[in-house]
Amino acid sequence: NFKDKVRVQEELLEAFRYTPDAGVLVLQMLEGFHGLSGDCNDWRLRKMGRICVMLLRILSVAGVNVSFKAREKALKVALDWKVNLMGDYGNILKALGFIYLVYAFGIVSEFSMDELVEISAVAAVNVEFMQLCRDVGLTDRVPGKAVEFF
């Protein structure tokens, strides 16, 4: 419910802290999002994308340990997601979701900085993106106008 976004995010944050494996839970909720293709103007896809990005963002700040099982599965999802992104660079939510996925599950080192920067350039128009770049360590490598925001 994006009308009461703050309350929902606070409840999710608290729920993730008490969930035995929040990483696995988030991955289950993400199933299918990264592989979806379609019109970026489709409100259902945009809504699903915003929900997925929110879940990944909340997981990244929840301060919970992600299990090895979840990390392994997240890497497989991220590799598939990256392939899917290569043909869909116009989808800001998918690009932002990918970067959050990599960050939230601690798998940044599994990707080259060049790959992350290239994908990050798509998400650079998003307000949350600047802090995420700082967290991931991309600040000095983000190309173009995005650097001006740092």
User: Which residues neighbour 53 within 8 Å (Cβ) at sequence distance 6 or greater?
Assistant: 93, 96, 97, 100
Q: Are 105 and 75 in contact (CB under 8 A)?
A: yes
Find the helix packing angle between 22-30 and 92-104, rounded to 10°.
160
* Residue 100 C-beta-side C-alpha neighbours within 13 Å: 32
pTM, to two decimals: 0.76
- In one letter, which amino acid is 42? D
Each residue's pLDDT tens digit, 21-67:
999 999 988 886 665 555 556 677 778 888 888 899 999 988 888 99
Q: Which of 33-37, 99-103, 114-118 has the highest mean pLDDT?
A: 99-103
SS3 content of the chain, % helix, strand, coil (to 5): 70, 0, 30
Question: Alpha-carbon Rg of the chain, whole angstroms?
Answer: 15
Whole-angstrom distance, CA of residue 1 vs CA of residue 11:
12
pLDDT of res. 41: 60
Q: Which of 1-10, 45-54, 89-98, 100-109 has the highest mean pLDDT?
A: 100-109
